[in-house]
Structure 1
Amino acid sequence: MNRREQLLQVAEQDIQLDTADYTRLQTLMHELHQALLAHHCPQIDALNNDIATLLTNLSGRAQRRSKILSAFGLGSGGQAMNQFFQQYAATRRGTIRQQWEQLGQLTSQCKFLNERNGKLLAMHNDILTQLLDNQRDAQLYSPQFF
Structure 2
Amino acid sequence: MTRRDKLLQLVESDIQQDCSDYLVLRGLMQTLYGYLLERDNSQIDLVNREISALVDAIAIRADRRTKVLAAFGFEPGLAGMASLLVHFSGLRGEHLQQTWQQLGQLAAQCKRLNERNGKLLAMHNDILSQLLGGLDSAQLYTQQGY
TM superposition score normalised by structure 1 = 0.98
**What corresponds to 2:83 in structure 1?**
83
| Paired-residue identity, % | 49
**What corresponds to 2:49 in structure 1?**
49
Q: Letter of the 1:6 partner, please give it.
A: K
Q: CA offset at residue 77 of structure 1?
A: 1.4
Structure 1 unaligned segments of length 5 or more: list them.
none
Aligned length: 146
**What corresponds to 1:124 in structure 2?**
124
Other structure's SS at 2:98 match: helix
Structure 2 unaligned segments of length 5 or more: list them.
none
Distance 2:91 2:52 in 1: 36
Distance 1:50 1:12 in 2: 24
Distance 2:145 2:23 in 1: 60
**What corresponds to 1:7 in structure 2?**
7
Q: Letter of the 2:60 partner, please give it.
A: G
**What corresponds to 2:142 in structure 1?**
142
Distance 1:9 1:91 in 2: 15
**What corresponds to 2:95 in structure 1?**
95
Distance 1:38 1:86 in 2: 47
Which aligned segments of 4 or more residues in structure 1 are displaced greater than 3 angstroms?
Answer: none
**What corresponds to 1:68 in structure 2?**
68
Distance 1:7 1:145 in 2: 75
Q: CA offset at residue 11 of structure 1?
A: 0.3
Q: Letter of the 1:115 partner, please give it.
A: E
Other structure's SS at 1:129 match: helix
Q: CA offset at residue 90 of structure 1?
A: 2.5
Distance 2:12 2:145 in 1: 73
Distance 1:92 1:31 in 2: 34
TM-superposition CA deviations, 1:78-122 (whole Å, max 9, x none): 111111011112331111100000000000000000000000000
Q: Letter of the 2:127 partner, please give it.
A: I
Q: Letter of the 2:124 partner, please give it.
A: H
TM superposition score normalised by structure 2 = 0.98
**What corresponds to 1:18 in structure 2?**
18
Q: CA offset at residue 2 of structure 1?
A: 0.8
Q: Letter of the 2:81 partner, please give it.
A: M
Distance 2:104 2:91 in 1: 21
